[in-house]
Structure 1
Amino acid sequence: MRVGIPGGLLYFRYGRLWNSFLEALGAEVVESGETTRSILSSGVSKAENESCLPVKVFYGHVLALKDKVDAIFVPRLVSVKRRTHTCPKMLGLPDLARAAVGDEVPIIAPTINFQTGLWSNYRAVYSVGRLFTRSPLRIIGAGVKAWKEHRLYLERLTYGLDHRSALRGEAEKLLCEGRELRIGVIGHHYNVYDTFTTMSLLDRLSSMGVDVVTADMVPERLRERELRRLPKEIYWSYEREIAGAILACARYRLVDGIIFMISFPCGPDSIIRVLCEQENRRLGGVPMLTLVIDEHTGEGGFLTRIEAFVDMLWRKKSAPAREEAVAV
């Protein structure tokens, strides 16, 4: 059976996990590949106008797989951590996929919900395995193998590899190599690692001689410590990671500046943006630039803002040295 995995949204976090699991079960995995202009255009033309950019991109990836596979794998992630929930758009992804392909291609959509306990999630994973094999041992073995590869992928991200390098397990260079200027690029994985929608932001910053720190590279203990300081708990799983990373970077000066990547019109990110900007000002933290991207974002204006922000950080960083030289 050929099973398609759309290369959008949660693929940038769980793609290695899904691919490994399905391959270990004997499926022929077909990925939609990286985002392209044609994928974005098809998604924009078919998706609801009010959908955020990543959902439109996801729609395009599903359509790209429609005539190539026997089924499409789109899990329904309700909660990935106790007492938290994913964004509402994650809950409806299987329904969006069904709307995109109709009855032509079945959607494999196990429900993952840590609010209901581990056993229900085990049963959901096992039900997927039963589509390919009747052997419980093979299903368990596939799950263990996939989880190990997933943890290894996430570990590589913490070391400073980007998404593509982490998948390959090798990199010509790291995002953070000890350069003088360091910028935090914080946001959802799909808003940071998708080279098309971000116009290769990470590569462009590297070419400017800038080190990049992502949310994955901020120690989890620092993120959790900052979240505990907030007056109200954040209930969205991935927004918790983003807010914790931004506040940790601001409090401990882990970076010289922060670029917060948001896709329009994401509601949870808009709330987190206000919260983080207020806390950053209260802490007397680091300069922060918020970039809101959608399908209409032009490369010229986007790059101008990046270059201006980097120039401002260089001037700010060199100001103390100039003042010291004048004093002498």
Structure 2
Amino acid sequence: MKVGIPGGLLYYRYGRLWNSFLHALGAEVVESGETTRSILNSGVSKAENESCLPVKVFYGHVLALKEKVDALFVPRLVSVKRRTHTCPKMLGLPDMAKAAVGDAVPVISPTIDFQSGLWHNYRAVYSLGRIFTSDPRRIIAAGVTAWREHRLYLERLTLGLDHRGALRGEADRLLCEGRDLRIGVIGHHYNVYDTFTTMSLLERLGSMGVDVMTADMVPEKLRERELKRLPKDIYWSYEQEVAGAILACSRYRLVDGIIFMISFPCGPDSIVRVLCEQENRLMGGVPMLTLVMDEHTGEGGFLTRIEAFVDMLWRRKRREAEELEAVAV
């Protein structure tokens, strides 16, 4: 059976896990590849106008697989952490995929919900495995292998590899190599690692002589510590990761500046943006630039803001160095 995995949204976090699991069960896995202009255009034409940019991109990836596979694999992630939920659009991804392809291709959509306990998720994974094999030992072995591959992928991200480098297990260079200027590029995986929608931001910053720190590279203990300081819990699973990373980068001066990547019109990101900007200002934190992306974002204006922000950070760093020199003298 040919099973298609759309290369958008949660693919940037769990794609390696899904691919390894399905492949170990004997499925022929077909991925839609990286985002292109044609994929984005087809997604924009199919999705609702009110959908955020990543959802429109996801539609495009689904349509790119429609004629190539026997089934689509689109899990429904309700919660990946206790007392939290994913974005409402994540909950509805299988339904969106079904609406996009109609009856042409069945959609395999196991429900993962950590609010319901581990046993619920074990049963969901086992039921998924039964689609491909009746051997429970093979399902368990596939799960163990996939989880190992997933952990390895995440570890590579924490070490400074980008998405493509983490998938291959090698990279031409690390995002963080000890340069004089370091910028935190913080956002959801699909807002940071999609080279098309971000116009290769990570690579461009590297070519400017800038080190990049992503949310994956911020120690989890620091992220959790910052979340506990907030007066109220953040209920969205992935927004917690983003907010914790921004606040940790600011409080502990892990970076010289922060670029917060969000997509229009994401509701949870908009709320977290205001929260992080206020907290960053109160603690006298580092300069912060918010980049809002949609399908109309032009490369010229996008790059101008990046270059101006980098120039400002260089001037600020030189001024601080001169002030320290004056004090030392």
TM above 0.5, yes or no, is yes
> C-alpha distance in 2, partners of 1:114/1:256?
36
Q: Which residue of 2 aligns with 1:73?
A: 73
SS at match of 1:78: strand
Letter of the 1:129 partner, please give it.
Answer: G
Report sequence identity in percent.
Answer: 85
Indicate whether 1:45 and 2:45 are aligned: yes
* Structure 1 residue matching 2:97: 3-state secondary structure: helix
Q: Measure how far apart 1:325 and its partner are.
A: 6.1
Q: CA offset at residue 98 of structure 1?
A: 0.2
- Structure 1, unaligned stretches of length 5 or more? none
Q: 1:140-219 counterparts in 2 under 5 A?
A: 140-219=140-219
Equivalent residue number for residue 85 of structure 1: 85
Q: Pick which of 226-235 and 318-327 moved more.
A: 318-327
Aligned residues: 328
CA deviation map 1:78-127 (0-9, x unaligned): 00111110010000000000000000100000000011111111111111
Distance between the aligned counterparts of 2:112 and 2:93, measured in 1? 13
Could you report, residue by residue, the CA deviation over 1:130-149 in whole angstroms, capped at 9, with x for unpaired residues? 11100000000000000000
Mapping 1:5-154, distance limit 5 Å = 5-154=5-154
- 1:238 is aligned to 238
Q: CA deviation at 1:72?
A: 0.2
Secondary structure in 2 aligned to 1:179?
A: coil
CA distance in structure 2 between the partners assigned to 1:191 and 1:271 by the alignment: 16
Paired position in structure 2 for 1:284 = 284
Find the residue that maps to 1:234 and give its secondary structure.
coil
Q: CA separation in 1, counterparts of 2:325 and 2:267?
A: 47
Read off the aligned partner of 1:246 and give its amino acid letter. Answer: I
For residues 60 and 172 of structure 1, what CA distance do their matches in structure 2 show? 29
The amino acid across from 1:26 in the alignment is G
Pairwise CA distance, 1:321: 3.1
Shift of 1:326: 6.8
Shift of 1:172: 1.6
Deviation at 1:61, TM superposition (A): 0.1
RMSD over aligned CA atoms reads 0.9
CA distance in 2, matches of 1:281, 1:325: 27
Map of 1:295 onto structure 2:
295
Q: Deviations over 1:34-89 (max 9, x none)?
A: 00000000000010000000000000000000000000000000001111100100
Runs of 5+ unmatched residues, structure 2: none
Q: Which residue type is aligned with residue 60 of structure 1?
A: G
Equivalent residue letter for 2:95: D
User: Normalising by the residue count of structure 2, what TM-score does the alignment of the two structures yield?
Assistant: 0.98
C-alpha separation in 2, matches of 1:315 and 1:309:
10
CA shift at 1:171, angstroms? 1.1
Farther off after superposition, 107-116 or 316-325 = 316-325
Q: Summarize deviations over 1:20-40 as a string: whole Å, max 9, x none.
A: 000000000000000000000
